[in-house]
Amino acid sequence: MNELILGLAAGTGLGFLLQRGRVLRFEKQIGALLLRDMTILKFMLSAIIVGMLGLAIAHDVGLISFNHKTMNLGAILTGGALFGIGWAVCGYCPGTAVGALGEGRWHAAFVILGMLVGALLYVEAQPWLERTLLTWHDYGKISLPRAINSPDAPVIAGFTGIALLLFWLFERKGL
Amino acid sequence: MNDSGSERRDGWNPYLAGVLAGVLAVCSAVATAQLTDKARFFGTSTTFVHVTTFLMRQMSRMQPGHRISFAQDQRIADWQFMLVVGILCGALLGALSDGSFKSEGVPPIWSTRFGGSWRVRAVGGFVGGIVAMFGARLAGGCPSGHGLSGLMQLSLSGFVALALFFGVGWITARLLYRGGAR
């Protein structure tokens, strides 16, 4: 029961913040992909910097354990590219499509329907994909620092530095 | 509903909203780790698989001749399902409480480029949604699962996936909108 209440609470908070940050708008999503309006990158990168630091601390003091998604080369490269194409066409990612519907943008309902069909197609295609595409190299569930043989701190610091540089650039260019 | 489509510069500062979302992600991970069996991280696309297989199972039960090879009976309402329901509720709450709720069938950028028909937009949204979700499931996550949660945990897959989402999305958007629709 805890599980469901915690999920609903976190989701409500996240939906509210996405809405207030204006991240749920079609204009903002396509605006970011056309490099005209970086609202969603400002939101995402800010969330990631704080989350990286917070989760690293929570992990180091033993409060949580990480759950990396596997770095399967064929899956990530093909899936990532397909997602990019679909995202630019429909204008939403799964979470923002649901949120956009909550904001009254009812065209997002067709995006959600398409996503349900896409999920079904993937389930149907999975056995075949497992015999083909997914047999490419699999690096396993590893972190970037482990992959490049570095401690976590420099990666967090480097990422934060790059993000802050981007923020400075966005503000300078008025994006 | 008091502003018709023009650029509203209200809302919160996106940096502030993002920082709060980051705090929320950390609190949520710690709370779920302490109060449930494991730490849970933001993600939404798995829920689409659960919902769609649930619906197919219901339909296949109604037609005894039809057999679908979906595995074990997972229950539909889990932590992530409730997260997705919450996003809908939170967005509705946010939109209603600051007057930015707006019934919209065709977004402005789309209508400048592809016309004002809601049917055309519906087809575009539907087809794009299919491709996006197939890709997200293949990659093992979407911008929330791979992008937010993956990068927060410094996952190698998160960095590569997010770069591809944006890189290929940027190329596709440029081709689709060809610098038009200002």
pLDDT, tens digit, 9 for 90 and up, residues B53-75 = 999 888 887 776 655 555 555 57
Residue in the block written with tokens 């229950």: B75
| Alpha carbon of residue B168 to chain centroid | 18
Distance (Å, whole) CA A150 – CA B36: 32
N residues, chain A: 175
The reported pLDDT for the residue numbered B67 is 54
Distance (Å, whole) CA A167 – CA A147: 27
Tell me what the pLDDT averaged over chain B comes to: 89
Give the best residue of A2, A40, A76, A150 to mutate against chain B (max B CB count within 10 A): A76
Which 3 state secondary structure label does DSSP give A138?
strand
The reported pLDDT for the residue numbered B62 is 74
**A56 contacts: CB under 8 Å, gap ≥ 6:** A152, A156, B154
The ipTM, to two decimals, is 0.96
Please give the angle made by the CA atoms of A3, A10 and B77, to the nearest 5 degrees: 40
Give chain A positions within 8 Å (CB) of B13. 21
pLDDT at B90 over 50: yes
Tokens (6 digits) for A20 = 């207030």
Distance (Å, whole) CA B96 – CA A24: 14
pLDDT, tens digit, 9 for 90 and up, residues B127-136 = 999 999 999 9
Helices (H), A62-151: 73-90, 94-102, 108-131, 144-147
Rounded mean pLDDT of B6-21? Answer: 83
User: What's the gap in Å between the CA of B70 and the closest CA on chain A?
Assistant: 9
pLDDT at B1 over 50: no
pLDDT band per the 50, 70, 90 thresholds, residue B2: very low
What are the backbone dihedrals phi and psi of residue B162, each rounded to the nearest 5 degrees, phi first?
A: -65, -40
pLDDT at B8 over 60: no
pLDDT band per the 50, 70, 90 thresholds, residue B11: very high
The reported pLDDT for the residue numbered B65 is 61
User: What's the gap in Å between the CA of B123 and the closest CA on chain A?
Assistant: 8
pTM score above 0.80: yes
User: What's the gap in Å between the CA of B61 and the closest CA on chain A?
Assistant: 17
Q: Which long-range contacts (CB under 8 A, 24 or more apart) does A122-130 make?
A: A122/B49, A122/B133, A122/B134, A122/B137, A122/B138, A123/B49, A123/B52, A123/B53, A123/B70, A123/B137, A125/B134, A129/A75, A129/B138
Exposed / middle / buried, residue B103 (Cβ in 10 Å: 0-12, 13-18, 19+): exposed
* DSSP letter assigned to residue B148: I
Q: What is the dihedral of CA A116, A5, B12, A25, to 10 degrees?
A: 10
pLDDT, tens digit, 9 for 90 and up, residues A3-52 = 999 999 999 999 999 999 999 999 999 999 999 999 999 999 999 999 99
CB B128 within 8 A of CB A86: yes
The reported pLDDT for the residue numbered B181 is 46
N residues, chain B: 182
Compare CB distances from A79 to B33, B49, B135 and report the shortest one's residue. Answer: B135
- The distance in angstroms from the start CA to the end CA of chain B is 23
| Alpha carbon of residue B81 to chain centroid | 12
pLDDT, tens digit, 9 for 90 and up, residues A94-144 = 999 999 999 999 999 999 999 999 999 999 999 999 999 999 999 999 999
CB B52 within 8 A of CB B68: no
Rounded mean pLDDT of A60-73? Answer: 95
- Nearest-by-CA chain B residue for A95: B44
B68 touches chain A (CB under 8 A): no
C-alpha R_g of chain B = 19
**A37 contacts: CB under 8 Å, gap ≥ 6:** A27, A28, A31, A175
The reported pLDDT for the residue numbered B4 is 41
The reported pLDDT for the residue numbered A121 is 97
pLDDT at B3 over 60: no
Dihedral sign for Cα atoms in the order A121, B166, A10, B3:
negative
